[in-house]
Amino acid sequence: MLLLGLTAQSDIDEPFGLATVPVSEGPLWVAWRDLQPQIKADQDIVAQCRREPKNCSSAAALRFIAIVDEGRSFESLARIGHINRAANFTIKVFDLARRVDDKWTSPLAALASGVGDCKQFSVLKYAALMDAGFAPDDLRVAILNSKLRHDIHAVVAVRNEGRWLILDDRSLSLADSNEILDRYIPLYVLDQRGVRQFVLPQKMVEGLAAAPCAADDQAN
């Protein structure tokens, strides 16, 4: 159930400037919990491939390293933008007519399959930004409700110079988190601490959709 008003709170220094409360049960919590050891295993593979690239047997790890390296020569906002763009073009969106698996998958699993939806794009960018040097406290996967498409969508939020920026597989542009509130209603954030639910004011609750995460064409 969605929480209304700012009656409960954790740290409001979150994307969209909204308070959050911890979630400790439910399908999203289980999926994110189960994904953490997979992300850690991917990190170990990537680290090994960096140390010994000639002995790297994981093509997915080499693609992951290429995404991170796309941004490493830049700083701050430019680094984020280059990683966002590289990730958006590295995997393809699911063909909805043929999609059979709607699970969250690790970054290397997504790269190995070559296809994904908003979940795969978001986890890939989340891991790539962390590998590129952004602190875990400055990274979130955010679950949003789209007012226009009437679906549930996953994006990445990264804090840069005090601003929360949104990375979206639907766009190559970066946006301030507060600038997309006319199109999206924030629902949850996922990070190294677990899952937290946004505490929504009443005015944000109208017109919430219940559709699954859509896989759609990337906008240029």
- How is residue 142 written in tokens? 């955010």
For the chain, report the end-to-end CA distance as a whole number of angstroms.
35
Ranges assigned E (strand) in the chain: 3-4, 20-23, 92-93, 115-116, 139-146, 152-160, 163-167, 175-176, 184-191, 194-200
DSSP state of 174: -
**Per-residue confidence of the chain (220 residues) as pLDDT tens digits?**
233 333 333 345 899 999 999 999 999 999 999 999 999 999 999 999 999 999 999 999 999 999 999 999 899 999 999 999 999 999 888 655 444 457 899 999 999 999 899 999 999 999 999 999 999 999 999 999 998 888 899 999 999 999 999 999 988 999 999 999 999 999 999 999 999 999 988 777 765 644 444 433 333 3
pLDDT score recorded for residue 149: 84
pLDDT score recorded for residue 192: 95
pLDDT score recorded for residue 17: 92
pLDDT score recorded for residue 150: 82
pLDDT score recorded for residue 11: 45
pLDDT score recorded for residue 94: 66
- How is residue 62 written in tokens? 């080499």
Q: What contacts 143, CB < 8 A, 6 or more positions away?
A: 28, 152, 153, 154, 186, 187, 188, 189, 190
- How is residue 131 written in tokens? 């590998």
Q: Which domains does the chain have, with CATH numbers?
A: 3-204 (3.10.620.30)
Contacts by 178-182 with C-beta closer than 8 Å and gap 24+? 178/16, 178/17, 180/144, 181/16, 182/147
Quote the CA–CA distance of 138 and 162 in Å, as a whole number: 9
Quote the CA–CA distance of 25 and 14 in Å, as a whole number: 21
